[in-house]
Amino acid sequence: MFQLVEDAYEIGASREAILKQYRDFKVIVNSKAEEKQLGRQFEAESGYELYQVIKTAQASDRQTIKLLER
């Protein structure tokens, strides 16, 4: 999941792959609090936001998701 988040910022990632991986991620991490904690930890280490990638993928109809770095 986190590799796809990095890809979404750096080179672009398949929307379908992001959403599928997120569904699989939610099976393992079914607690919203744990998801937020892991997302914050990942952002602190990488500078990339899990939430923004998922939100963008869910709202978009584009095949490739590419976010700009802050």
Q: Is 30 helix (H, G, I), strand (E, B) or coil?
A: coil
Question: In the chain, how many domains are there?
Answer: 1
Kindly state whether residue 70 falls inside one of the protein's structural domains.
no
Single pTM value for the model: 0.90
For residue 68, is pLDDT > 90?
Answer: no
Q: What would the mean pLDDT of 38-67 be, rounded to a whole number?
A: 95
Report residue 65: phi and psi, to 5°.
-105, 125
- Nearest CA to 65 out of 11, 13, 23, 22 is that of 13
Q: For position 53, which CATH number holds?
A: 1.10.220.80
Kindly state whether residue 37 falls inside one of the protein's structural domains.
yes
**Other CB atoms within 10 Å distance of the CB of residue 19:** 15
DSSP letter assigned to residue 65: E
Domain extent for 48: 2-65
pLDDT band at 16 (very low <50, low <70, confident <90, very high): very high
